[in-house]
Amino acid sequence: MAAQPTIQPPSPAFFVLEGRAPFEFAASLAALPFLRRAPLGDGHPVLVLPGWLASDRSTRPLRWFLRDRGYHAHGWKLGRNLGPRAEVVAGLRQRLAALRARHGRTISVIGWSLGGIYARELARRFPGDVRQVITLASPFRDPRASRVSRLGRPDLDGVPEGRLHELYRQLPTPLSVPSTSIYSRSDGVVAWQSCLEEDGPLRENVEVRSSHCGMGHHPFVLLVVADRLAQAEGTWRPFTPRGWSLWPFAT
């Protein structure tokens, strides 16, 4: 499946609405008693990758939540995400290998925005080490459909145009491991259409009502992530809202 360069970035009105992210964080704090009803996990390792220009600091709330649910949640430890530079690509491979050796178990990888594209490519390259992939507002169908795409292009300026087209064609190709794409139609940074998986037995799209910048700590996103991670390995099923996950932030 080829990328869709005709996908347009979100409207400026949605970009303005990104200012709600702090309120979404406040909502997650208020919802802590409810969030503790999310299922506990089996203790397997989870690697969490930040979005563009962000660092492990941005994913702390998500990792704190995952540790509370019983997982070994890890940051990427590669500093600020400035794009897919050679040292980042090599660092991600080394981080995945180190966690695999340390825990002796396959790893769930969660990526926020650009971090989700990294997560998918890690799983594509090392499917035997990745248990599942969860992306948060990640525009893997077409990264160019973004309000910040021009700012994110410098790292690709030296890449031949033919190679760029090849990369863009590869990004949306379905993975061989279970994958969940969490997206929001009111995302003000990336076009929600660029975050959609193809239909298939091991992949799904879950819609939430969230800003792009608040996706990593939005209460309903946390509930969906907990539900996905709690599945026993090899028994993956699509997400179905039920019981604890039926609450006002759900779509």
Number of domains in the chain: 1
The number of residues making up the chain comes to: 251
Per-residue pLDDT tens digits for 89-115: 999 999 999 999 999 999 999 999 999
Q: Is residue 251 part of a domain?
A: no
Query: Residue 247 domain-assigned?
Result: no
Structural domain span for residue 62: 12-230
The whole-number average pLDDT for the span 30-57 is: 94
Query: Is 17 contained in some domain?
Result: yes
Give me 149's structure tokens: 């795409």
- What stretches of the chain show up as alpha helix (H) in DSSP? 12-16, 21-30, 32-35, 60-68, 86-103, 114-125, 149-152, 161-170, 219-229
Percent of the chain with pLDDT over 70: 87
86 CB contacts (<8 Å, ≥6 apart)?
none
Pick the closest to residue 223 from 194, 191, 180, 186 (CA basis).
Answer: 180
DSSP secondary structure code for residue 79 in this structure: -
**CATH at residue 60:** 3.40.50.1820
Does pLDDT of 145 surpass 60?
yes
- Distance (Å, whole) CA 94 – CA 101: 11
More confident residue, 85 or 120: 120
Does the residue 112 lie in any domain? yes
Q: Pick the more confident residue, 5 or 163.
A: 163
**What pTM was computed for the model?**
0.90
